[in-house]
Structure 1
């Protein structure tokens, strides 16, 4: 009898990553080409940074960011309003047995990166970093 292995890591299984990336690419194509018939979506440029799929492949959460970061609320509302059509288009393109339920969230990755940069630029943090570097040089 073959053993079943379950990947309990936080990054997900190879399959969930593959499905998430396929959904991200197709969703990006739909938005870039204006294939979703909604004036709010065709009027803005939206980046799809990542799509995370649940381990059971039932839910896919797309993290989006409108160009310039503005109008995030409008973009999320429009995507949520059209999620049925988007799900249908993705399912048709990917030819998978069950297309995951789509959820949309604001991608705050760039905001978090900016906050991290600001933190590292703080003189107190710089002092601690340089202090740690000086002590490691002395130990060698």
Structure 2
């Protein structure tokens, strides 16, 4: 039998990312939350837990948004159980994905170090 290049957890994570993206977008609009989007979903091997990584437009309000999303996690899970064809929907944990903030900081530092006046470097 040929080996599979994908895992069930990866497929479930991808589907959760799509579905949660829509649910989170609606929650941001309906509950007047700071603007966030789902960047990734990591599912445990036993499919009991899913860590949902979100990015925020305003990094300073990210904690507020993550707290609200964790409070809405039960509602999201209920909606997912109706929309997904899966026996048991994993428990959801929302966490802030600060990788975008870190990369922007690194880019800014590189730009500043390339030109002593702090502007763009010439090519």
TM (normalized to structure 2)? Answer: 0.75
Give me the whole-angstrom Cα distance separating, in 1, the residues matched to 2:79 and 2:63.
Answer: 23
Q: SS of the residue aligned with 2:34?
A: coil
Among 98, 101, 116, the residue aligned to 1:108 = 98
Work out whether 1:93 is the aligned partner of 2:86.
no
Runs (4+) off by over 4 Å = 118-123
Q: State the alpha-carbon separation in 1 of the partners of residues 81 and 27 from structure 2.
A: 17
1:21 aligns with 2:11: no
Which structure 2 segments of 5+ residues have no match? 115-123
Preserved CA contact (<8 Å) 1:36 1:85: no
Structure 1 unpaired stretches of 5+: 8-12, 124-140
Instruction: Quote the residue 1:33 is aligned against.
Output: 26
Cα deviation, 1:119-140, whole Å, max 9, x if unaligned, reads 76657xxxxxxxxxxxxxxxxx
SS of residue matched to 1:57: coil
Q: How does 1:26-105 map to 2 (within 5 A)?
A: 26-34=19-27, 39=31, 42-105=32-95
CA distance, structure 2, for counterparts of residue 46 and residue 35 of structure 1: 7
Q: 1:5-45 CA deviation, whole Å, 9 max, x = no partner?
A: 9x9xxxxx5211111111111111012234996x2xx4432
Number of residue pairs matched?
A: 112
Q: Secondary structure at the match of 1:105?
A: strand
Q: TM-score normalized by structure 1?
A: 0.66
- Contact persistence 2:28–2:36 (CA under 8 A): no
